Amino acid sequence: MSDPLETSGLVVVDKPSGMTSHDVVGRLRRYFRTKKVGHSGTLDPMATGVLVLGLERGTKYLAHMVADTKSYAATIRLGAATTTDDKEGEVLSRASAAHVTDEQIAEGIAALTGRIMQKPAAVSAIKINGRRAHELVREGVEVDIPARPVTVTRFDVLDTRREGDYVDLDVEVDCSSGTYIRSLARDLGAALGVGGHLTALRRTAVGPFSLADAYRLDDLEDNPRLSMSLDEALIRTYPVLEVTADEAAALALGKWLEPRGLKGVHAAVGPDGKAIALVKEKGKRLSTVFVARPATL
């Protein structure tokens, strides 16, 4: 008997520059011949790198996917500020960064590392009164998004290039979900008094999913395939709770089990190695959070 979840799982795409996340969804719908495709979070058209998508029942899992941390490689240009905080916007101001020292840059980066309050880029997917901020900005509406707490755990400069009035910094950043790398570029430039914006951005990891898991779109067009099954996705993302065949059958029906002192969400895995559900203790019950393999399949 074939596995009903054989075509369900995750596809990690190395998104090319110039495409929206929705464009990638459209491509995968065509390549895999299914309408059931969704993504776990947008990536700017300018940016490249890791975009996690769900197929078939994998789309239901995306809402439960743990991706609290993200990693990026980027290039920050000091010496100009733009309307979008990246190279695609109009230049708002220019100021020579030739005098800025490596020590001053290091101090500015240190101030943007750790738990900080960050004002998101105006050109973002954040909704304001039901509308995306970037849509309002492009219509000429002035947008003011309040600062919010984010965590930058790593902000390293790999290379510094000085050319005329500009200083280009190749950086790597590990941060909490919801952190805007464009805003880091903007704020670093502002702190140094010369303005700053991104000229390149590549997402290298989303939670436990990295470029090592990713396929290029042209590879998928020739050979559409999952990066990982739904079983593999659950097991990679959450600690595993081994359950008996009878317990697995109960969870598949959405029933609860006796508690066993667990903290947080676990992936319940049956004796056959299949992930049945995500479970979490609530009071005196071990309840399902998400049923990967419902009995109705």
44 is annotated as an active-site residue: yes
- The per-residue DSSP string of the chain comes to ---TTTT-EEEEEEEPTT--HHHHHHHHHHHHT-S-EEESS---TT-EEEEEEEETTHHHHGGG----EEEEEEEEEESEEETTSBTTSPEEEE---TT--HHHHHHHHHHTSEEEEE---SSSS-EETTEEHHHHHHTT----PPPEEEEEEEEEEEEEEEETTEEEEEEEEEEETT--HHHHHHHHHHHTTS-EEEEEEEEEEETTEEGGG-B-HHHHHHS---SEEHHHHHHHHS-EEE--HHHHHHHHTT--B------S-EEEE-TTS-EEEEEEEETTEEEEEEESS-TT-
- Out of 3, 14, 23, 44, the active site residue is 44
Is 210 within 8 Å of 49 (Cβ atoms)? no
Structure tokens of 195? 């303005």
Where residue 264 falls (left for φ over 0; alpha for ψ -120 to 50; beta otherwise) is: left
Question: Which active-site residues does the annotation give?
Answer: 44
